[in-house]
Structure 1
Amino acid sequence: MSILRDRPFRLLWTARSVSALGNALMPVTVVFAILHSGGTAVDVGIVLTCQAVGQVVMLPVGGVWSDRLSRKLVLMATDAVQAVCYGLLAAMVFLGHAAVWQFGVTYTVAGMAFAFFTPASRAVVPELVESGKLQPANALLGLTDHSTKVLGPAVAALLLAVSTPGIALLIDSLSFLLSFVLVSRMRLSKPLERPEQQHFFTELREGWAIVAERRWYLANLFAWGVWNFGLAFFFVLGPVVMENGHGGATGWSIVLMTGAVGSILGGLAALRYLPRRPLVTTNALALVGIVPLALLAPPAPVLVVAVGVALTFATTALGGEVLATTQQQLFPKEMLARVSSLDWMISLIAMPAGYAAAGPVSELLGLRTTLLVIAALIGTPCVLLNLSRGVRSVQRLADGTIGVVGERDAVAPSGDSPAPAPAAPAEAAGPSGR
């Protein structure tokens, strides 16, 4: 927690906490705002689809511009755009003139702005903190995200019970305004010296090419895409299992709440646990993802499923922060946003694809067979990847940073000129003393 003594990071963490809580209100608030304005379930689906598509399409663009410009300015711009978008929606709801197309356009623009925020917010962290503090910093930011996702729906429900969707939209707008002010006061302790700008597509290819050069890392990204695809089946088929005499809506709520608690516990573990072989560890943690799917197949009692989900979400949260830290140290700082945008894009495409496939596949194969097949699908790449020499060569070095042992052109964490990696890794880290 000593990382919060660093004022620049403290400002970023506070800004992220405020805007994340406001943003966590949206999944519930926007849906009911559309319905209260005369929209239908079809309209809700169209608006949410437009927002998701806009975000995926703009992620590569956001990655390039977050590497071209000051990431601080990019974060401020995204905060400003989202504050205006949600402020306009709140005004339209208050005035009673909100049409479905207005929700679609405004929510899509907000999603596009978020596509710039996502890569910039991860890439800016190495500009604020030292290499040895990256994982605690990522863990604190992750804890904020997990906690607000738990609190957000509850706060949104309370606001909707005592007021109108317009109030929640206004609060979200104000949260981004406050985030803008906080980020504007943030001073980058390690600002980048960016190379001369080239053509947009040239820079995009450069960012993605550096990932493709390390095929084992690209394979690791796609393996996590498969994992996200498989987990989507859990979210679609889990309620179906519960509805068929195994706990119903109450049972499913218990499962999701324990999963949220597991995410927070995993984030806390990431504050201290520094694995010696980061990618090997995260792939091993990903194997736990087969547990919820396997437990739903018999199906097991609700409480057993809930414990399995809590364990899965805890290991996912821990693995996510370790992966973020590894990415920040394996690639040059001036390309981090582009690398991060590729990572996010794979995940954002995989989850909706899983949602769409879950129903038809379960009808074709049957519920139990589908759950077991998907469990095997997400587990197999994790095992195979850990057999890769490239994945096993990513290790925590003697100075505490992460590098590629034996790779002569390993990229220095600072983004300086390539240098040989040290010959031997550090001892197994275990819990950090920070």
Structure 2
Amino acid sequence: MPCCPYACAHACPQKRKARTVFLPKSLSVLRERPYRLLWTARSISAVGNALMPVTVVFAVLGTGGSVLDVGAVLTCQAVGQVVMLPVGGVWADRLSRKLVLLVTDGAQAVCYGLLAAMVLLGQTAVWQFGVTYTVAGMAFAFFTPASRAVVPELVGAEDLQSANALLGLTDSSTKVLGPALAAVLLEVTGPGAAILFNAASFLLSFVLLARMRLARPAEPPQRRRFFAELREGWTVVARRRWYLANLIGWGVWNFAIAFFFVLGPVVLQQGRGGAAAWSTVLVTGAVGSIVGGLVALRFRPRRPLVATNATALFGAVPLALLAFTAPVAAIAAGVALAFVMTALVNEVLATVQQQLFPRELLARVSSLDWMISLLAMPAGYAVAGPATELFGTRTTLLAAAALIGTPCVLLNLLPGVRSVRALPDGTLTVAPAPEDRAAAAPTGCPRPPLRAR
């Protein structure tokens, strides 16, 4: 029977189906209501959080704090993240990931709400910012592993990269829009309103996530001692030596790129445009991240790890251009190219992680990934200055460029890295490599080759 064009869409299945065909294939994951709720919640809270890097500086200074106080507050967040990441990974695997996301959003909504009230009432001190940022860092340590690990529960394996790319695209976009919105709010209303906006964003995220339904596991996970579960997650990574090497290689990449952010302003300050030129470079890099997120929606490399390590070589370009004092426009273009590739790599690697590790261990694996990255960049910031004093700016920048390029090339020589392949349906498979045989099956218990779940 033909469908009546005037029929109600809810009463006519053919009509209801026709309304969904206009969504591009790369955005088809948004048809899944649980994922759509996660993406919307993440987008809203990311906008609020993007206000804070600018807002907190002026809020602390407004209380009579110094530059050292600003640095101490930001350090509280970093310490909270690094210390609690292993704990967050274990508990995000132990508990419902939805529950972990709700608790972290609720905690941040309360903390930022209280801080906003104190700022608006003029009753703030520097220690209150330190406490809030410590809690925010601890919440991040729980939220991030749970947020990555929950995605495979919401979409199929073939849609994982699109789902990750959309989330990454949102994060990149908010990093561009957030500082501009923060500047408007600071000018019009002051830091209290900006902090209150952030608290409201977490509250709205909480409401959306509360409506997200996850399938219940067939069997509840078996509980063991905390350190036994922590060791189990890290052992799974260590046994796949090619994957651990990839994580360490990316830690080196983050360590080396930190030299650019330390020495870039110094070089550009020397008659090269100063703060205006550096701002242009940073904005161009942020735009590059957005473009990379858009490309990741459709990019499907046949050998994901080989492709990501090859594209990561572009991270050496801005360091080399800065070393040879290239024009600001060329440095900005190099940064844009590097961050296009970085955004692309991040989403592909997240998909590899989600498909090649058991779901019950994903949060612990993700926490190790994040911990290596978070430790590497501060180490690079700390080393860049002394290295420049010893070896000079150009030599230091070229050495950092070599640090980026060398691991990228060496990693692609590993058989395990080359063995990860994408199937036509978007799922991943790993050909049996010597190091995988030991990881894939315990003694006396043979298993088939590792395949995406």
Fold similarity call, TM over 0.5: yes
Quote the residue 2:408 is aligned against. Answer: 382
Secondary structure of the 2:265 match is helix
Quote the residue 1:420 is aligned against. Answer: 449
Secondary structure of the 1:132 match is helix
Answer with 171-180 or 24-33: which moved more.
24-33
Q: Do structure 1's residue 262 and structure 2's residue 288 form an aligned pair?
A: yes
Q: CA deviation at 1:271?
A: 0.4
Q: Do structure 1's residue 99 and structure 2's residue 128 form an aligned pair?
A: no
Q: CA deviation at 1:406?
A: 2.4
Q: Do structure 1's residue 317 and structure 2's residue 346 form an aligned pair?
A: no
Q: Is the 8 A contact 2:159 2:426 kept in 1?
A: no
Q: CA deviation at 1:246?
A: 1.4
Q: CA deviation at 1:399?
A: 4.1
Pick from 164, 167, 184: which aligns with 1:141?
Answer: 167
Structure 2: stretches of 5+ with no match in the other structure: 1-26
Q: Do structure 1's residue 178 and structure 2's residue 207 form an aligned pair?
A: no
Whole-Å separation in 2 of the counterparts to 1:262 and 1:190? 39
Answer with 102-111 or 286-295: which moved more.
102-111
Q: CA deviation at 1:190?
A: 6.9
Deviations 1:223-252 (CA, angstroms, capped at 9, x unpaired): 100000111110110111110111211111
Q: Do structure 1's residue 287 and structure 2's residue 313 form an aligned pair?
A: yes
Secondary structure of the 1:273 match is coil
Secondary structure of the 1:403 match is strand
Q: Is the 8 A contact 2:37 2:208 kept in 1?
A: yes
Quote the residue 2:48 is aligned against. Answer: 22
Q: CA deviation at 1:419?
A: 3.2
Quote the residue 1:428 is aligned against. Answer: none
Secondary structure of the 1:39 match is coil
Q: What TM-score comes out, normalization by structure 1 length?
A: 0.94
Q: Could you say what the CA RMSD is over the residues aligned between the two structures, in angstroms?
A: 1.6
Q: What TM-score comes out, normalization by structure 2 length?
A: 0.90
Quote the residue 2:31 is aligned against. Answer: 5
Q: Is the 8 A contact 1:385 1:391 kept in 2?
A: yes
Whole-Å separation in 1 of the counterparts to 2:279 and 2:53? 17
Quote the residue 1:239 is aligned against. Answer: 265
Q: List structure 1 segments (4+ residues) > 3 angstroms apart after TM superposition.
A: 189-194, 407-412
Figure out how many residues of one structure are paired with residues of the other and give that number: 419
Deviations 1:102-133 (CA, angstroms, capped at 9, x unpaired): 11112101210111001000000000000000
Pick from 45, 50, 55: which aligns with 2:81?
Answer: 55
Quote the residue 2:63 is aligned against. Answer: 37
Q: Is the 8 A contact 2:356 2:450 kept in 1?
A: no
Q: CA deviation at 1:195?
A: 2.3
Q: Which amino acid aligns with 2:149?
A: A
Deviations 1:38-61 (CA, angstroms, capped at 9, x unpaired): 111111111111111111000000
Whole-Å separation in 2 of the counterparts to 1:258 and 1:100? 33
Whole-Å separation in 1 of the counterparts to 2:164 and 2:355? 12
Quote the residue 2:90 is aligned against. Answer: 64
Q: CA deviation at 1:340?
A: 0.1
Quote the residue 2:72 is aligned against. Answer: 46
Whole-Å separation in 2 of the counterparts to 1:235 and 1:163? 31
**Higher radius of gyration, 1 or 2:** 2
Structure 1: stretches of 5+ with no match in the other structure: 426-434
Q: Which amino acid aligns with 1:69?
A: L
Pick from 266, 272, 275: which aligns with 2:298?
Answer: 272
